[in-house]
Amino acid sequence: MTKNPTQKFAFDVGWIFISSIVVVISGLVLNVIVGNVFGPEGLGLFSLMLSIYVISSVILTIGIPSAVTKFTAEYRDKDSKINSIFTTAFISSIILGLIATLLLFFVSPLLSRLFDMSELTPLIRMVSFALIFFVPNKVLFGLLNGLRKMRLYALCEIGRYLMLIVFALVISLKFTNLEVFVISFIITEFLLFPLLLYLALRSFHFDFSKKGENVKRLLRFGSQVLFGGTIGQLNSRIDLLLIGFFMVDKDVGIYAIAAMFARGLLIIPQAVQKVAYPTISSHFAKNQIFMVKNLINTLLKYHLILISLFGFIIVFFFDNIVKILYPGEAQFLLSFNSFYILLFGIIFFGSTGILGVSYKSAGKPYLGLVRQLFMLVSNIILNIILIPIYGILGAAIATTISFIIHSIVGFILTAKVLKLDLDNKSYYIALICSIIVLSLAIFGRILRSYNMYYFVFIILFYVGILFVTKTFNWRDREILRQVISIRIST
The CA-CA-CA angle for residues 223, 193, 281, to 5°, reads 40
Q: Out of 250-264, 334-348, 431-445, which region has the weakest mean confidence (pLDDT)?
A: 431-445
pLDDT exceeds cutoff 50 at 486: no
Q: Stretch 391-410: mean pLDDT, rounded?
A: 93
Phi/psi of residue 340, each to 5°? -60, -40
pLDDT exceeds cutoff 60 at 483: no
From the number of C-beta atoms within 10 Å of its C-beta (0-12, 13-18, 19+), residue 394 rates as buried
pTM beyond 0.75, yes or no: yes
Tell which wins on pLDDT, 398 or 469.
398
Q: Stretch 51-69: mean pLDDT, rounded?
A: 84
Question: In which element (H, E) is residue 233 found?
Answer: helix 211-246
pLDDT exceeds cutoff 80 at 158: yes
| DSSP tally for the chain: helices H, then strands E | 19, 0
State residue 377's pLDDT score: 93
pLDDT above 90 covers a percentage of the chain that reads: 25
State residue 487's pLDDT score: 36
State residue 433's pLDDT score: 87
Tell which wins on pLDDT, 420 or 99.
99
* Residues whose CB falls within 8 Å of the CB of residue 45, separated by 6 or more in sequence, listed in order: 38, 117, 119, 120, 123, 178, 249, 252
Q: Out of 13-27, 416-430, 462-476, which region has the weakest mean confidence (pLDDT)?
A: 462-476
Nearest-angstrom CA–CA distance, 455 and 9: 33
* Nearest to 164, CA basis, from 212, 127, 124, 199: 127
Q: CB of 187 within 8 A of CB of 169?
A: no
State residue 370's pLDDT score: 84
What does the pLDDT look like over 286-322, one tens digit per residue?
777 777 777 787 788 888 888 988 888 888 888 888 8
State residue 192's pLDDT score: 94
pLDDT exceeds cutoff 70 at 212: no
Q: Out of 132-146, 173-187, 351-365, which region has the weakest mean confidence (pLDDT)?
A: 351-365
State residue 418's pLDDT score: 78
Q: For 456-465, which contacts have Cβ atoms below 8 Å and span 24 or more sequence positions?
A: 458/312, 459/309, 459/312, 461/437, 462/308, 462/309, 462/312, 462/433, 462/434, 462/437, 465/433, 465/437
Per-residue pLDDT band for 391 (boundaries 50, 70, 90) equals very high
The domains of the chain are located at 5-484
Q: Stretch 80-98: mean pLDDT, rounded?
A: 82
Per-residue pLDDT band for 490 (boundaries 50, 70, 90) equals very low
What does the pLDDT look like over 133-142, one tens digit per residue?
999 998 888 8
Tell which wins on pLDDT, 9 or 278.
278
pLDDT above 70 covers a percentage of the chain that reads: 88
Q: Out of 122-131, 385-394, 476-485, which region has the weakest mean confidence (pLDDT)?
A: 476-485
**Which of the residue ranges 94-108, 408-422, 435-449 has the most confident prediction, judged by mean pLDDT?**
94-108
Q: Stretch 49-64: mean pLDDT, rounded?
A: 86
